């Protein structure tokens, strides 16, 4: 039952975000914020596919234990693409609200993103191992969480200030995604049932993509 549910859910999720991303790229009509948003959605979908596709295959065949390497590499790729997702979202913010300057803020975004990437590539993560060390799961997610917090703050403040109804709840989608993701990082190995929180976490990302897509449709 788990295999069927996860596989169907993942197919719907990946197809949705990639489809919407491609539509945004094609329909951006020279508006850079929507082009960036579309690229962001496509990267989200293809990046997650590196982990979700092997996982679905494993669940439907011989089990997760026989796909340790593929799943580990998939998690590494997903970790990097999710970081890039937030970097692009930062530049969507700059484009949408015509932000000039803010060099220190831009530097902070890149420092956090590069710190996350460097930590992800450290051999101590043991990506090819069946059991990943919890300590490094925490280390590599510290700059990621700080990056997410930064994006939450700037979108919340600016959307409120500009009375931007289309992006009114974008900050909330990010808060929810991290709210569901952090317990998985901390407790999924000891309490596998916590892994089910990845479903609402994924739904939060779909909401994020839909916000951008609906904004583009309303901007025509």
The pLDDT of residue 2 is 79
Look up the CATH number of domain 2-218. Answer: 1.20.1070.10
Helix locations, 101-133, DSSP H: 103-121
Cα atoms in the Cβ-side hemisphere of radius 13 Å centred on 71? 15
The per-residue b/e assignment along 125-138, b for 16 or more CB within 10 angstroms, e otherwise, is bebeeeebeeebbe
For residue 29 the two structure tokens come to: 């009509």
User: What does residue 189 show for φ and ψ, rounded to 5 degrees?
Assistant: -70, -40
Per-residue pLDDT of the chain (220 residues; tens, 9 = 90+): 778 889 999 999 999 999 999 999 999 998 999 999 999 999 999 999 999 999 999 989 988 888 999 999 999 999 999 999 999 999 999 999 999 999 999 999 999 999 999 999 999 999 999 888 999 999 999 999 999 999 999 999 999 999 999 999 999 999 999 999 999 998 887 888 898 899 999 999 999 999 999 999 988 6
Question: What pLDDT score does 220 carry?
Answer: 65
Distances (CA, A) of 90 to 24, 30, 155, 156, 188: 17, 19, 9, 13, 29
Predicted structure pTM score: 0.94
First to last CA, the chain: 43
Quick check: 79 and 44 in contact, CB under 8 A?
Answer: no
Q: In 47-58, which positions are buried (b, 16+ CB within 10 angstroms) versus exposed (e)? A: bbbbbbbbbbbb
Residue 153: predicted pLDDT = 97
Residue 3: per-residue pLDDT: 82
Residue 124 is classified by DSSP as G
- Distance set, CA 164 to CA 29, 97, 145, 161, 168 (Å): 21, 10, 25, 8, 6
What tokens does 54 get?
């092997």
């Amino acid at each position: 039952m788990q295999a069927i549910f996860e596989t169907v859910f993942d197919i719907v999720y990946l197809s949705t975000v990639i489809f919407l991303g491609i539509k945004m790229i094609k329909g951006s009509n020279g508006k850079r914020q929507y082009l960036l948003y579309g690229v962001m959605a496509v990267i989200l979908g293809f990046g997650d596919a590196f982990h979700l596709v092997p996982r679905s295959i494993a669940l439907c065949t011989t089990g997760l234990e026989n796909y340790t390497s593929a799943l580990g590499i998939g998690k590494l790729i997903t970790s990097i693409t999710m970081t890039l997702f937030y970097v692009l979202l930062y530049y969507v913010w700059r484009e949408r609200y015509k932000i000039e300057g803010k060099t220190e803020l831009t530097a902070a975004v890149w420092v956090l993103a590069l710190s996350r990437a460097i930590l992800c590539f450290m051999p101590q993560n043991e990506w090819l191992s069946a059991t990943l060390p919890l300590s490094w799961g925490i280390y590599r997610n510290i700059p990621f969480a700080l990056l997410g917090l930064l994006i939450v703050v700037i979108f919340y403040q600016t959307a409120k200030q500009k009375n931007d109804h289309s992006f009114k709840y974008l900050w909330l989608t990010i808060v929810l995604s991290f709210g569901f993701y952090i317990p998985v990082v901390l407790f999924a190995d000891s309490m596998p049932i916590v892994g089910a929180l990845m479903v609402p976490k994924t739904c939060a990302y779909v909401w994020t993509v839909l916000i951008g897509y609906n904004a583009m449709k309303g901007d025509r």
